[in-house]
């Protein structure tokens, strides 16, 4: 039976980390809300569902429901051949994915530092301050860490964890894609400062299934409703 992915139909957002894994694996799945948004909403508003998700993304696999991107990937990874086999590596993959989660939240908060419920225009001044700190301090802190992990992989510096492609590699690809879209000026020296991550980004983009997906209509374009938004005034100036 096909996996059912539930996520908003007009943004990449947090669902994209799951979409990329399903696509890379060539897994049989339905992107439910892109055909019928009401199925997603009725789940969130269900009065009886005991395993209620807080928010999308969530995945249905037969009777099983799993929510939160990192949780879905931990569940799905071994089933679709995108997780390491050994226990230490599997928990490390999840730890890396949780750092990805934290990073994505910080990216979101560059444009929404005060409240998700307010428009960007109503928190633009705070957004400029937060973005400057993000580019000066937070982005380097996370990228230094991810580069170090990659370079130190005992199986060689081609994957974030283990000797084969995993969902963490796909998430790193998505992060670099998103940063290139949102902060093109700040990202200019990226490949020089983070050669391992830049090489991984290139390799994942050339992966047969990933490349086909990126060219397809199934890939939603980046836009200013998602997590990674291009507001030139938040990018590095000059």
The answer to whether 88 contacts a copy of itself (rule: CB under 8 A) is: yes
Cβ atoms of 56 and 34 within 8 Å: the answer is no
Shortest spacing between CB 151 and a copy of itself, in angstroms = 10
The least distance separating a copy of itself from the CB of residue 117, rounded to whole angstroms, comes to 5
* Residue 91 binds to a copy of itself (criterion: CB under 8 A): yes
Distances in Å between the Cα of 162 and the Cα atoms of 91, 146, 196, 201 are 12, 14, 15, 17
- Is residue 42 at the binding interface for a copy of itself, with CB under 8 A as the rule? no
Nearest Cα neighbor of 179 from 212, 146, 206 is 146
Minimum CB distance to a copy of itself smaller for 17 or for 207: 17
Residue 120 binds to a copy of itself (criterion: CB under 8 A): no
By the rule CB under 8 A, 133 interacts with a copy of itself: yes
Residue 48 binds to a copy of itself (criterion: CB under 8 A): yes
In angstroms, what is the minimal distance from the CB of 166 to a copy of itself? 14
Find how far residue 188's CA is from the centre of its chain: 21
Which of 154, 189, 232, 238 contacts a copy of itself by CB under 8 A? Answer: 154
Does position 38 bind a copy of itself by CB under 8 A?
no
The answer to whether residues 171 and 100 touch, using CB atoms and an 8 Å cutoff, is yes
Which long-range contacts (C-beta less than 8 Å, at least 24 apart) are formed by 120-129?
120/224, 120/229, 120/231, 124/233, 127/231, 127/234, 128/233, 128/234
Phi-psi region of 61 (alpha: psi -120 to 50; beta: other; left: phi over 0): beta
Restricted to residues 169-208, the positions that interact with a copy of itself (CB under 8 A) are: none
Q: Which residue is listed with tokens 């948004």?
A: 37
Residue 94 binding a copy of itself, by CB under 8 A: yes
Characterize the bridge pairing of strands 58-61 and 64-67. Answer: antiparallel
What is the binding site for a copy of itself (CB under 8 A)?
Answer: 48-54, 63-68, 70-71, 74-75, 87-88, 91-92, 94-95, 98-99, 101-102, 105, 109, 113-118, 126, 129-130, 133, 137-138, 142, 145, 148-149, 152-154
């Amino acid at each position: 039976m096909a996996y059912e992915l539930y996520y908003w139909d007009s943004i990449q957002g947090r669902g994209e980390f799951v979409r990329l894994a399903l696509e890379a694996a060539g897994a049989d799945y339905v992107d439910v809300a892109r055909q019928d948004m009401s199925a997603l909403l009725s789940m969130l508003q269900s009065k009886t569902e005991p395993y209620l998700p807080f928010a999308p993304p969530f995945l249905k696999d037969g009777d099983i429901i799993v929510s939160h991107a990192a949780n879905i990937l931990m569940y799905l990874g071994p089933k679709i051949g995108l997780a390491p086999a050994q226990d230490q590596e599997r928990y490390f993959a999840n730890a890396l994915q949780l750092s990805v989660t934290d990073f994505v939240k910080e990216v979101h908060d560059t444009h929404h530092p005060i409240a998700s419920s307010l428009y960007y225009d109503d928190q633009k001044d705070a957004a400029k301050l937060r973005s400057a700190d993000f580019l000066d301090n937070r982005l380097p802190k996370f990228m230094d860490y991810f580069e170090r992990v990659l370079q130190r992989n005992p199986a060689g510096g081609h994957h974030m964890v283990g000797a084969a492609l995993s969902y963490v590699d796909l998430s790193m690809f998505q992060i670099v894609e998103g940063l290139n879209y949102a902060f093109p000026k700040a990202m200019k020296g990226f490949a020089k400062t983070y050669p391992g991550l830049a090489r991984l980004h290139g390799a994942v983009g050339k992966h047969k299934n990933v490349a086909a997906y990126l060219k397809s209509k199934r890939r939603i374009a980046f836009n200013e409703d998602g997590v990674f938004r291009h507001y030139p005034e938040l990018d590095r100036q000059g």
